[in-house]
């Protein structure tokens, strides 16, 4: 019942006063819902319904958690942010080295966004960014225009770094934003972003809304459940998954159970060999 009430409240919030009549590349590619006051989720319908969190802070900085998959989408997102909020400054945090964590960095840099990433994300992007781009583009063989957009984006490394084990805390006009590393899960470098005063958690790709783990090519399935379970102690009221769903702590609980089952299945397969 609690999850249903949250879903209904989010649906009402999504009907907020954001400009919906604008015929532009952003609204052709993204949908937007306001999940808490001045806190939005932009969902990229073209690329796996991937989510980006956009938060307007008290000092009129706009804070972005994660990234669209590619440069054109990120450019459209930033143009929408500028038109809608007229920010004093924009800061983006790369949540992991895959395209749905870093793919918009080329546009971020062009627009003067301050880009942050962990030391491990920057290392993995340097070492594997180009090969990862090829793999991600191959998933769009049946959609050549979308594939072309992935192939032509430039790999751009964040210009600001923090140690992943330490995390990072930002403060904007007296309000904090915490970047948290709970441990390896979807990837070894995945981080979550938490707005404690708003009780909003961007869990990214480590949080799963369905009964599968999705792409596990860079995952630590054995550690996944324990890593994500640490996020529950934050007691968020809104949880944003990396793809599709926005909900509450039930998304964390679902992820923990799904990852534990996947870990048991992996153990069983190894023992049967």
- pLDDT tens figures, 242-256: 999 899 999 999 999
Residue 2 in this model has a pLDDT that exceeds 70:
no
pLDDT in tens, 154-173: 999 999 999 999 999 999 99
Residue 67 in this model has a pLDDT that exceeds 80:
yes
Mention every residue, 6+ apart, whose C-beta is less than 8 A from residue 127: none
Pairing state between β 238-241 and 200-204:
parallel
pLDDT in tens, 189-218: 999 999 999 999 999 999 999 999 999 999
Give pLDDT, residue 265. 76
Cα–Cα dist 41/32, whole Å: 6
Residue 15 in this model has a pLDDT that exceeds 90:
no
Residue 118 in this model has a pLDDT that exceeds 80:
yes
Walk across the sheet containing 200-204 and list its strands.
168-172, 175-180, 192-195, 200-204, 238-241, 246-247
Give pLDDT, residue 7. 44
Alpha helices in the chain (DSSP H): 2-13, 25-29, 71-85, 99-102, 105-110, 119-138, 144-152, 221-229, 249-272
The 3-state secondary structure of 13-79 reads: HCCCCCCCCCCCHHHHHEEEEEEECCEEEEEECCCCCEEEEEEECCCCEEEEECCCCCHHHHHHHHH
Q: Answer whether 0.75 is exceeded by the pTM.
A: yes
**What does pLDDT average to over the chain?**
91
pLDDT classification of 37: cutoffs 50, 70, 90: very high
Higher pLDDT, 20 or 58: 58
Pairing state between β 175-180 and 192-195:
antiparallel
Mention every residue, 6+ apart, whose C-beta is less than 8 A from residue 50: 43, 44, 66, 68, 69, 100, 242, 243
DSSP state letter for 3 = H
Can you tell me the mean pLDDT for 54-73?
Answer: 98
| Tokens describing residue 190 | 């995945």
Give pLDDT, residue 6. 44
């Amino acid at each position: 019942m609690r999850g249903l009430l949250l879903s209904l409240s989010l649906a009402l919030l999504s009907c907020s006063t954001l400009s919906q009549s604008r015929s532009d590349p952003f609204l052709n590619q993204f949908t937007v819902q306001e999940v808490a006051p001045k806190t939005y989720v932009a969902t990229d319908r073209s690329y796996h319904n991937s989510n980006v969190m956009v938060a307007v802070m008290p000092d009129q900085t706009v804070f972005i958690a994660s990234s669209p998959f590619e440069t054109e989408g990120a450019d459209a997102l930033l143009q929408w942010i500028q038109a809608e909020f007229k920010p004093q400054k924009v800061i983006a945090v790369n949540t992991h080295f895959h395209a749905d964590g870093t793919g918009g960095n080329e546009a971020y840099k062009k627009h003067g966004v301050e880009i942050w990433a962990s030391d491990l994300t920057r290392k993995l992007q340097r070492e594997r960014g180009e090969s990862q781009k090829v793999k991600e583009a191959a998933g769009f063989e049946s959609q050549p225009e979308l594939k072309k957009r992935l192939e032509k984006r430039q790999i751009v490394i964040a210009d600001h770094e923090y140690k992943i084990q330490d995390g990072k805390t930002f403060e904007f006009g007296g309000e904090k934003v915490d970047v948290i590393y709970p441990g390896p899960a979807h990837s070894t470098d995945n981080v979550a972003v938490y707005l404690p005063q708003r009780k909003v958690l961007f869990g990214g790709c480590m949080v799963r809304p369905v009964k599968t783990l999705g792409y596990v090519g860079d995952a630590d399935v054995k550690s996944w459940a324990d890593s994500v379970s640490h996020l529950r102690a934050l007691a968020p009221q809104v949880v944003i998954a990396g793809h599709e769903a926005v909900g509450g702590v039930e998304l964390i609980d679902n992820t923990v159970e799904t990852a534990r089952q996947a870990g048991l299945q992996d153990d069983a397969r190894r023992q049967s060999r």
